[in-house]
Amino acid sequence: MASAYYEFYRGSSIGMALTDSLDELITDGSITPQLAMKVLTQFDRSLADTLVKQVKTKTNMRGHLHTYRLCDEVWTFIIKDAVFKMEGNETVQSSRVKIIACKTGEPSEAKK
């Protein structure tokens, strides 16, 4: 069975650049809308798989939980004044962070 992949990363700067480029190619007649959708689907799969397999850095986060929500088994958290402390003591700060957390794999796998 094929795994379901979320489309969250399409809203990132690289995802939006890809979408803009695909729109141009469709407008120019260089590719079909069906091919563009296949490219976006592969983008979703590749980015999710890469994050799971290659990102191993542990991070501690502190901040103020502004909003949280659970809808369709997807958690969304808005953190204000977030401070991330990475391995190696590197620190990154942000005034606002949105975290989206979801189950991996098919929903039917969780029931087995």
Does 1 score more than 80 pLDDT? Answer: no
CB contact set of 9 (below 8 Å; sequence gap of 6+): 15, 43, 44, 47, 48
What's the whole-number mean pLDDT along residues 80-84? 96
Q: How confident is the model at residue 111 (pLDDT cuts 50, 70, 90)?
A: very low
CA distance 96 to 99: 10
Lowest mean pLDDT among 1-5, 13-17, 27-31: 1-5
Residue 100's pLDDT is 87
State pLDDT tens for residues 32-78. 999 999 999 999 999 888 888 998 888 999 999 999 999 988 899 99
The reported pLDDT for the residue numbered 51 is: 84
Does the domain at residues 8-54 carry the CATH identifier 1.10.287.190? yes
CATH class belonging to 59-104: mainly beta
Domain limits of the chain?
8-54, 59-104
Please say whether the beta carbons of 37 and 18 come within 8 A.
Answer: no
How is residue 95 annotated by DSSP? E
